[in-house]
């Protein structure tokens, strides 16, 4: 139950790192929806401030004078991108968090919201994943460098809370999907990749589409606008040291997901499975009770509805990129 507003975001200087990205765009829309004036929000772009560099982080703090930081900036991608860039993903995600949290401490920031990832959970975790299980094993190997770097920031925030009183909170969103997602097949996540493959196969009249992996693993998908709502609720109402999951509490196998996307895109061909490709973590589904209890967050968008909106957003863009080729 929510006791009251802890932080009135309308009065803070909010910096959203990564605010121009996929989740960042949805977060800006959510801020507007809850009445946070646009002039209260600043988004440092990578071209102006490379947040992996300590000097750029210091300059960003001097220029923007944040009182609340929502740290979304990250180098992220699907299984392929994680396999190609394990060193880079570890370094970039670690360095950004390290410099930002330290500078938040020395500048007396009122609240630091770190967005972590479900990839931080151990490879084999009892379903649904409870926050208490976060340290009960090593993450799935392909995304461990990314997941562990982000998880280290949880330890940093907890240590800074104890020693310096920095008010840092830590959220663990499930896999996200929705409009403005990256649909470049080299680096995209599974939903935009499947939509693109089915859409293009339909345009070309292909007989079949090949999908990575066995299809038997399960995932949980959170619609990006729901995630943004959860972040804003937590920024307003949650002040604790413990990590909190943001999800739907529902899992779907990749096979079922691909079938639903095929249907929604209207592709009549067959789906074939390339089992030589990695599956990633065997199961993923979050226990969402803490978010409900601590800051009244509950996801609202059903998977089919979210997929429909995502396809609606992607289709004209895919058509455009097709004509551009």
Point out which residues bind ligand NAP (CB under 6 A).
17-18, 20-24, 45-46, 49-52, 72-76, 92, 115, 117-118, 173, 175-176, 189
Cis upstream peptide for 128 (omega within 30°): yes
Mapped onto helix, strand or coil, the DSSP state of residue 67 is: coil
| Residue 269: CB minimum distance to ligand NAP, A | 27
Which whole-number Å values give the CA distances from 85 to 45, 180, 186, in the listed order?
22, 23, 12
Cα separations in angstroms, 20 against 102, 120, 152, 202: 23, 24, 25, 31
For ligand NAP, the closer CB: 11 or 45:
45
Can you state the angle between helices 144-164 and 86-107, rounded to 10 degrees? Answer: 10
Query: Annotated catalytic residue: which of 49, 146, 177, 199?
Result: 146
The smaller minimum CB distance to ligand NAP, of residues 109 and 174, is found at 174
For residue 124 the two structure tokens come to 């084999």
Residue with tokens 């999908």: 211
- 160 is an active site residue: no
Nearer Cβ to ligand NAP, position 45 or 298?
45
Q: 36, 142, 93, 289: which is closest to 101 by C-alpha?
A: 93
Nearer to ligand NAP, 22 or 61 (CB): 22
Catalytic residue positions? Answer: 146
């Amino acid at each position: 139950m929510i006791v009251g507003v802890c932080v009135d975001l309308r009065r803070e200087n909010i910096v959203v790192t990564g605010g121009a990205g996929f989740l960042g765009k949805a977060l800006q829309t959510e801020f507007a929806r809850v009445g946070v004036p646009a002039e209260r929000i600043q988004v440092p772009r990578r071209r102006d401030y490379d947040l992996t560099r300590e000097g750029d982080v210091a300059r960003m703090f001097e220029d923007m004078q944040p009182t609340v930081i929502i740290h979304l900036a990250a180098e992220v991608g699907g299984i392929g991108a994680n396999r190609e860039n394990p060193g880079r993903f570890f370094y970039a995600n670690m360095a950004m968090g390290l410099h930002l949290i330290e500078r938040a401490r020395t500048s007396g920031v009122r609240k630091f919201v770190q967005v972590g990832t479900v990839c931080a959970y151990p490879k084999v975790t009892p379903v649904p994943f409870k926050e208490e299980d976060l340290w009960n094993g090593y993450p799935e190997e392909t995304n461990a460098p990314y997941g562990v770097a982000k998880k280290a920031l949880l330890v940093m925030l907890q240590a800074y809370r104890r020693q310096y009183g920095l008010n840092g909170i830590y959220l663990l969103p499930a896999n996200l999907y929705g409009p403005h997602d990256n649909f470049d097949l080299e680096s995209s996540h599974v939903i935009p990749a499947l939509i693109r493959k089915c859409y293009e196969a339909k345009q070309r009249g292909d007989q079949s589409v090949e999908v990575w992996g066995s299809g038997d693993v399960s995932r949980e998908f959170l619609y990006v606008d729901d995630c943004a709502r959860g972040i804003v609720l937590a920024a307003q109402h949650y002040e604790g040291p413990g990590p909190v999951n943001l999800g739907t509490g529902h899992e779907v196998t990749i096979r079922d997901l691909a079938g639903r996307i095929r249907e929604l895109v209207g592709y009549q061909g067959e789906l074939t499975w390339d089992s030589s490709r990695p599956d990633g973590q065997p199961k993923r589904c979050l226990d969402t009770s803490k978010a409900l209890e601590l800051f009244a967050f509950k996801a609202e968008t059903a998977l089919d509805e979210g997929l429909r909106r995502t396809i609606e957003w992607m289709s004209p863009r895919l058509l455009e990129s097709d004509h551009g080729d």
